[in-house]
Structure 1
Amino acid sequence: MQIVRVHDELLDGTLRTHQFGGVRVAVVKGEGPRELIRPGRRVAPAGEGVLRVLRPLTGAVWVVQDGRHGTVRAPQLICLDSTRPYKASMPENFRLVDVTVAHRLVGLTADEAASFTARPWTGAEGLAALLSSLLEGLGRHGREVETAVDLLGGSVVGLTAALFSERMREFAEDPRIARQALMLQVQSYVRARLAEPGLNAETVARSHHVSLRYLQKVFQEHGISPARWIRDERLARCRTELADPHLDHLPVALIGERAGLYGASHFSRLFRDRYGITPREYRKERGTP
């Protein structure tokens, strides 16, 4: 990314970041006018793309991407995508929350994410209001957050995915979009219920009023089965908690149970098959005594 300054002024400002599981939250404060530019030559040809959701706390943010131009102020939200060129401008003194989340965490491809870029969300009602309020709280009190970082990350991801799903339904009644909206709804639903031992593909399909075969078809478009995706999400939650020193007081088996993986040997085998190392070894190599 290029940061463009006005004339020869110094880029005075502050940046504070927090990692909540698979989500990065940055609180940025600076004096405008400023521009953040991602030119085409700086877009990597390969690698996992990310979505960036911006929530102004003070000041305004102008975003240009995918042929659209959107302007937001608190409590509004706006989205950028790292896989294509964009420009974000802050015309005055500003303070904002910048959330970075991988496409895979919200169940979107880069092409699908193009439907959301540079489109303001009101931030005053519905799911957008919930996400806006959460980001405002992180912006104001993020420095004080020391525990439950994975749960906070899960909340941000879940609300973001649900918000994209809600917006997707507004765009068209195309069957492909309907399937993608269902995918986002399912992912948000599952992440909120990982600890439930009865959570599986059948119960998920039933709760969303679709057949198991249809649910499998939706996931097949993303190269995975719903059962495998649920298992991988459980293991990813466990790995995040094993890496968190604030959770070192919890036995390894309990870490598995918190994500719905019951039985110490069963959990250990699944974790080793997925990551090539047992949960206990993973925690020890992270540096836990």
Structure 2
Amino acid sequence: MVRLDELEPVRAAAGSAPPGRGGVQIVREHDEPLDGTTRTHQFGGVRVALVKGSGPAELIRPNRQIDTRTAGCLRVVRPMTGEVWVFQDGRHGTVRAPQLVCFDSTRPYKVVMPENFRLVDVMVTHRLVGLTAPEAEPLTARPWSGAEGLAALLSSLLEGLGRHGSQVETAVDLLGGSVVGLTAALFAERMREVAEDPQIARQTLMLHIQAHVRERLAEPDLSPASIAREHHVSLRYLQKIFQEHGISPARWIRDERLARCRTELADPALDHLPVALIGERAGLYGASHFSRQFRDRYGTTPTEYRRERAS
């Protein structure tokens, strides 16, 4: 396997102009934006960047730049115009619209735009899609069709953000949930395709369950028993697959609800919403109950957390 820090930058064709903006961008931070980013939308733990640039251009993250002490992210790229090449984990994926491709910031990679381009770059934490970095390795640098199934739904949503992103500021929380849900479901679908293995099957089920839960956090009757029924497994088996991740289903649901509340409390655009309503939007009903659980998890009450952020 060729090491990415040994790869030579892609050169322009003979007689062509040198790459714009320096041509080569060395990535030092896990979520460093591409040169040419024109607009960014933050949806909780998801960031969507709209990028326009002149090719040939390269994004390179060599091994020497990776800090294993900080959490990384998965990045999904959807070209609008032009072509994108992704090199990672010994593979090379080439995509054009409406295709998608992903890479992982925790390992060396190289992304090449050989011509003028416009693209949408989605950055999502591993936790949000229920995958660790090693578990995501089989999915990187593999083109996804974008013309059918879940890939087509995500591709169409990202194309819409690329074309109309400046007009959807009032719907960012809704769109963020859609991006996360579709991305998680797509990863689960792709994992099922790349390997037939009991462990992969359990991981795929886990991803579907997590996507299901995140879409229904506001429902007060969401419970491990209802989740097991919805996915046609026993409650005991549901508990077993969560135990493989070191947590119980009930604890995971609670942590997801609290994490969503903390994200919304940290968002100045949602300051007009009462704290109790923030809790209800994530299925935590009763102001005192919500406040107590939030304090137990984060060491401060929701009201204090919002006040500290504002100050």
TM-score range, shorter chain: over 0.9
Contact 1:127 1:159 in 2 (8 A): yes
In 2: Cα distance, 1:93 partner to 1:287 partner: 41
Q: 1:210 aligns with which of 224, 228, 233?
A: 233
The aligned residue for residue 80 of structure 1 is 103
Classify the secondary structure of the residue corresponding to 2:76: strand
| SS at 2:141 equivalent | coil
- C-alpha offsets along residues 102-143 of structure 1, whole Å, 9 cap, x if unaligned? 111101111111110010110011100110011111112222
Q: Please state how far the C-alpha of 1:237 moved relative to its aligned partner.
A: 1.3
Preserved CA contact (<8 Å) 2:154 2:179: yes
CA contact (8 A) 2:81 2:119 kept: yes
Residues 75-124 of structure 1 deviation map (CA, whole Å, 9 limit, x = unaligned) = 00001011111111111000111111111110111111111001011001
Alignment of 1:7-22 (within 5 A): 9-11=19-21, 14-15=36-37, 16-22=39-45
Q: State the match for 1:162 in structure 2.
A: 185
**Structure 1 moving runs of 4+ over 6 Å:** none
Alignment correspondent of 1:178: 201
Note if contact 2:20-2:57 (Cα within 8 Å) is conserved in structure 1.
no
Between the aligned partners of 2:91 and 2:20, the Cα distance in structure 1 is 30
Correspondences of 1:8-47 after superposition (within 5 Å): 9-11=19-21, 14-15=36-37, 16-47=39-70
The alignment's TM-score, normalised by the length of structure 1, stands at: 0.94
Matches of 1:282 and 1:131 in 2, distance apart? 34
Once the two structures are TM-superposed, the CA of residue 214 in structure 1 deviates from its matched residue by 0.9
Corresponding residue of 2:114: 91
Partner of 1:143 in structure 2?
166
Whole-angstrom CA distance in 1 between matches of 2:18 and 2:113: 17
Distance 1:122 1:10, change over 3 A: closer
What CA distance in whole angstroms lies between the structure 2 residues aligned with 1:54 and 1:236? 26
Amino acid at match of 1:50: C
Gaps of 5+ in 2: 12-16, 23-34
Q: Which residue of 2 aligns with 1:274?
A: 297
What residue is the counterpart of 1:284 in the other structure?
Answer: 307
Gaps of 5+ in 1: none
Aligned twin of 2:222: 199
Instruction: Pick closer, same or farther for the CA change 1:284–1:214 going to 2, 3 Å.
Output: same
Q: 1:102 pairs with 125, 135, 140, which one?
A: 125
For residue 75 of structure 1, give the secondary structure of its aligned residue in structure 2: coil
Are 1:243 and 2:253 an aligned pair?
no
CA contact (8 A) 1:69 1:119 kept: yes
Aligned amino acid, residue 93 of structure 1: N
- Between the aligned partners of 2:170 and 2:297, the Cα distance in structure 1 is 26
Q: In 1, distance between residues paired with 2:70 and 2:309? A: 25
Please name the residue that 2:287 is paired with.
264
- Number of corresponding residues: 288
2:277 to 254, 271, 277: 254
**SS of the residue 2:52 aligns to:** strand
- The aligned residue for residue 29 of structure 2 is none
> Do 2:150 and 2:182's aligned partners in 1 also have CA atoms closer than 8 Å?
yes
For the residue of structure 1 that corresponds to 2:48, the secondary structure is strand
Contact preservation (8 Å) 2:19, 2:54: no
Q: Label 1:212 to 1:54 Cα distance change in 2 as closer, same or farther (>3 A).
A: same
In 2, Cα distance between equivalents of 1:237 and 1:215: 23
- For 2:246, what is the secondary structure of its paired residue? coil
For residues 161 and 33 of structure 1, what CA distance do their matches in structure 2 show? Answer: 31
TM-score by length of structure 2 reads: 0.88
Alignment deviations for residues 153-189 of structure 1 (CA, whole Å, 9 cap, x no partner): 2211110110011111112331100100011000100
Question: Aligned with 1:274: secondary structure?
Answer: helix
Deviation at 1:285, TM superposition (A): 1.9
Cα distance in 2, alignment partners of residues 17 and 249 from structure 1: 23
Aligned partners of 1:152 and 1:276: how far apart in 2? 30
Over residues 35-62 of structure 1, what are the superposed CA-to-partner deviations in whole Å (9 max), with x where a residue is unaligned? 1111111122222221010000000001
Partner SS for 1:113: helix
1:27 partner letter: L
C-alpha contact (below 8 Å) 2:19/2:56 kept by paired residues: no
Q: Secondary structure at the match of 1:47?
A: coil
CA contact (8 A) 1:21 1:149 kept: no
Q: Distance in 2 between matches of 1:14 and 1:67?
A: 27
